[in-house]
Amino acid sequence: MEKEILRTNILPTVPLRGKVAFPRVTISFEVGRQMTLKAVERASASAERLLFICTQKVTEKDEIVPSDLYSVGCVAKIKQIAQLPGGVVRVSAEGLYRAKARTVSAEDGCFYAVCDELAPVHGDEVLEEAYLRAAKALVKDVLLADGKIAKETYAKYENCQDADEYIDCILAAMRVRMDIKQAILEERRTVERLKLFERCLNDELEISKIEKKIATTVRKNIDKSQKEYFLREQLKAIHSELGEDGKEEDEYREKIKAKGLPEEVEKKCLKEIDRLSKMNSTSPEYTVITGYLDQILELAWTEKTEDTQKLADCVKILEADHYGLDKIKERITEYLAVLKLTGEMKAPVLCFVGPPGVGKTSIARSIARALNRKFVRMSLGGVKDEAEIRGHRRTYIGAMPGRVIYAMKNAGTVNPVFLLDEIDKISSDMRGDPASALLEVLDPEQNDTFRDRYLEVPYDLSKVLFVTTANSLETIPAPLRDRMEIIEVSGYTLEEKTEIAKRYLVPKQLKANRLTDGQAKFTADGLRAVIEGYTREAGVRTLERTIGTVIRKIAVLHADEKDKPFEKVDRKRVLEILGAPRFTGDEVRKEEEVGAVTGLAWTAVGGTTLTVEACLVPGKGEVKLTGKLGDVMKESAQAALTYIRAHAEEYRINKQAFEENDLHIHVPEGATPKDGPSAGVTMATAILSAFTGRKVRRDVAMTGEITLRGKVLPIGGLKEKSLAARRIGIKTVIMPAENKKDIEEIPESVRKDIAFVPVTGVEEVFRLALREAEKPADGGKSSRRTPKKPPVLPLSEVGSHDGVRC
């Protein structure tokens, strides 16, 4: 018997996952974990290039500790190291001898093991020889049974007389469970190892027999299927003799010929029918092809509706369905007029942009009715998968066309009005970008050959009148935006809302609640009370819901008393039904204050007003900006402060005031994000008011971007901002002079109530918005120029955009 421990080494340790290393066998493995890479690096740097290889108990575990490793492994010598892509290293090592780790510790980023060599423990030599011969016979049976051992491996070790070497080499070549291999590796007594090895071989032999039995059963089932196919072919021949074969294929051919398809599409369909005729009807592919042909036949390829012949009829329908929206009505009338003159033209792609509730979606339905076309709608809100637009390839199970083709199938014509609703809410993820897929759909130069992945043939969308809607253009990709004709739809004024409620909303709610005009009659004063006191929106959705609430309250009174006299809904009755108003008619600041200025802003839901506050506190000249302001708005504040500091002497501000005070600028409603440059003049006015103590007029609102030189640059959304100013009772709006051209778009009723003052420089803003200080802020130490009168222009010059109280 040999000594139990022959040698002891301290070696870098490599834990393997799902593999067991054996002596006298070359093993290859890939290394990717940092601690394992470190161990290989340390071993390869040593003279002997030795490392200790053991097996990890739980294969799936990435972060391991010494207790996660089997203690018995193999000491191996590194033969070759190859660098693979991705930072992975392939190592080839030759097993030298079995060893047991006395201790394993983590040092310098890798595991080190104090390992002792395990010598084999031999017993009765005759008994070992008997077990070895039995094992060799079983190995031969396993090889013949299933080829689980390579013939070369079997031949190489057939004459091996060392039982331990034979077990290690054969076991390393077999596909056996890791725990069985580990148990045999750990056993030191040769006779016991042979017993475990023999038991393992017997198990593999039984498994091979079971696998053969299963394979035989499967083969029988295949033979049965072939027999059924042969019988079906015979049955098919019998039907052929009777003249009854190919009925379904012939029906498809007749339908395809009669459909009048384009040449390429017809050729594709006939090719699919030829495939169908050679296929077993029970085949899954048979169903896929018939489904494809059905989709082609259900689509409209030549069918279309005749457009309205008289422009007057088209205009009449649009006017009956919607109040206002003049730009949209004019554009549709232009399209119909050109179509009537030319006889053929590519339909435009219109994009209606505006706040919610202004009628963008409903006007699209009215356009279809006015043009005498079919109407289909596709909501793009939340769509993330490109396949929603282009469809899935037929190679996928359950494949179907995209939603564009599906909508065209529902329309049944090639020239419907196709509404793509909420195009600004589209998004993308790993499944593709739907916005990019829409580029082909909405490009008049390409959409006559639109290819759906399911159809695999071109489909003409050039006759479709595409209408898209959006609340904002900012989230629409530039290439997609470039393909659309943008028509802005602004919010409604009080007069427009009153007229819309009287013409459409009240009759609609009366009908929905089964009341008549005789049972509930709104007065103009009652409608204004609802609009001013209970709604604050650019559109009319909340207004419709509020009117519905009033009518339902009245319906309760009429439910039991059918003959009850009609209800007059005036301002007093509205207050009784709805209670105290949610909004006051005039929310302008109650009094003039120092450092508080009313500004105007534009949002995706229309215009709004905001108050910019500036306050000085003793400090070191720091500037604090609060109110969840964006980067652009913060930069505007810095530009405004720089201008005030540069002109401090002109405004009688002691320069020490900038060093001895901290400036705090705040925009209320701090939970709402705010950004944009148009609050520049508002911030400059608030800062100057705070430093000079001059009060700000409460009936003045302003908008405009400021430069370091004090210039006032143009802004967008003037109409929406003006509507917001009017809602809170503002009398004067200061705006950039370059926006004078936008005044024509503002409703006349708003121009009558608000004086618009165009300015080119911030000095003009200060002269109009700030009251004179009771005494100079610096005690009169600095000079000040005499202010000029602000340029409010007379009514006679409104037509040229120069004056603006209209």
Return the active site residues: 678, 721
CA distance 391 to 399: 8
Residue 506, phi then psi, degrees to nearest 5: -65, -50
Q: Which residues contact 523 (CB under 8 A, 6 or more apart)?
A: 568, 569, 570, 571
CA quadruple 306, 310, 314, 320: dihedral positive or negative? negative
Provide the 3-class DSSP secondary structure of residue 24. coil
Sign of CA dihedral 541, 547, 549, 555: negative
d(CA 764, CA 751): 21
3-state DSSP assignment of residue 521? strand
Question: Position of tokens 């590519």?
Answer: 346
Question: Which region, left, alpha or beta, applies to residue 464 given φ > 0 means left and ψ of -120 to 50 means alpha?
Answer: beta
Strand positions, DSSP E, 676-716: 695-696, 700-702, 705-706, 712-713
Are the CB atoms for 121 and 187 separated by under 8 Å? no
Give the DSSP letter string of 124-146: -HHHHHHHHHHHHHHHHHHHHHH
* 353 beta partners: 470, 488
Q: What is the bridge-based pairing of β-strands 349-353 and 700-702?
A: unpaired
Cα 712 to Cα 140, 295, 666, 697, 756, distances in angstroms: 96, 60, 22, 20, 15
Q: How far is CA 126 from CA 123, 197, 335, 360, in A?
A: 9, 17, 105, 97
User: Is 772:694 a contact under the CB 8 Å cutoff?
Assistant: yes
Q: Residue 487 is encoded by which pair of tokens?
A: 């028509």
Could you give the CA distance from residue 167 to residue 194 in angstroms, rounded to a whole number?
8
- CA-based nearest residue to 13, from 67, 62, 50, 45: 50
Contacts of 199 (CB under 8 A, 6+ apart): none
DSSP 588-628: S-SS-EESEEEEEEEETTEEEEEEEEEEEEESSS-EEEESS
List Cβ neighbours of 450 (8 Å cut-off, separation of 6 or more): 404, 440, 441, 458, 459, 460, 461
Q: How far apart are CA 74 and CA 77, in angstroms?
A: 10
